[in-house]
Amino acid sequence: MPTVHYESYTQARTHLKALLDAAERGRVATVRRDSRTTAIVDQERLRFFLASVAPARAEIVAEDGGWSVLMPDLPVAADGSTIDEALDETITALREYAEDWQDHLLDAPNHAANWGLVQLICLSNDEQLRHWLVGTGQ
């Protein structure tokens, strides 16, 4: 059976191992609660997918003896005396944005569509975010 689905939270709790095993193998794993169905997805699979469909589009520019990283369409920018320092600051700014988004921006009309970006930020370590920013891998 390729799909694992449970019609209730109670049913899913009883079969949690099967649900998690299916998600880890990349199978469709879902749970229905009231009128909504929630998908359970392996973290690394989701992170890899989000990184592949949402390129950073970071603009890295040299200016005034240092470096700046700008994120078009996001309230995220950072500066540093070296590229590495600017990228470190950008990663910090992205993490702060993700925290703010989860705290209060998720319902703001101009930020609500950034759900995938926030997931990507939270599911990535600093090295993965750095590679995503500069476009050298996922």
What pLDDT, in 10s, does the model give residues 38-70? 999 999 999 999 999 989 999 999 988 999 999
Phi-psi region of 108 (alpha: psi -120 to 50; beta: other; left: phi over 0): beta
Which contiguous run of DSSP H or E holds residue 115?
A: helix 115-123
Looking at residue 16, its amino acid is: L
Q: Is the pTM of this model over 0.75?
A: yes
Pair (49, 12) in one structural domain: no
Rounded alpha-carbon distances, angstroms, from residue 46 to 50, 56, 66, 90: 6, 16, 35, 22
Measure the CA–CA gap between 16 and 32, rounded to whole angstroms.
14
Measure the CA–CA gap between 104 and 130, rounded to whole angstroms.
26
Pair (37, 67) in one structural domain: no
How many structural domains does the chain have?
Answer: 2
Pair (37, 58) in one structural domain: no
Report the CATH number that the domain containing residue 87 is assigned in CATH.
3.30.160.620
Pair (31, 57) in one structural domain: no
pLDDT in tens, 3-50: 899 999 999 999 999 999 999 999 999 999 999 999 999 999 999 999
Tell me the helix, strand and coil percentages in the chain, rounded to 5: 50, 20, 30
Pair (51, 95) in one structural domain: yes
Whether the CB-CB separation of 58 and 48 falls below 8 Å is answered with: no
Pair (73, 101) in one structural domain: yes
Which contiguous run of DSSP H or E holds residue 77?
A: strand 76-80
**Which residues span the domain enclosing 14?**
4-41
pLDDT score at 73: 84
pLDDT in tens, 78-103: 999 999 999 999 999 999 999 999 99
Pair (21, 51) in one structural domain: no
3-state secondary structure of 70: strand
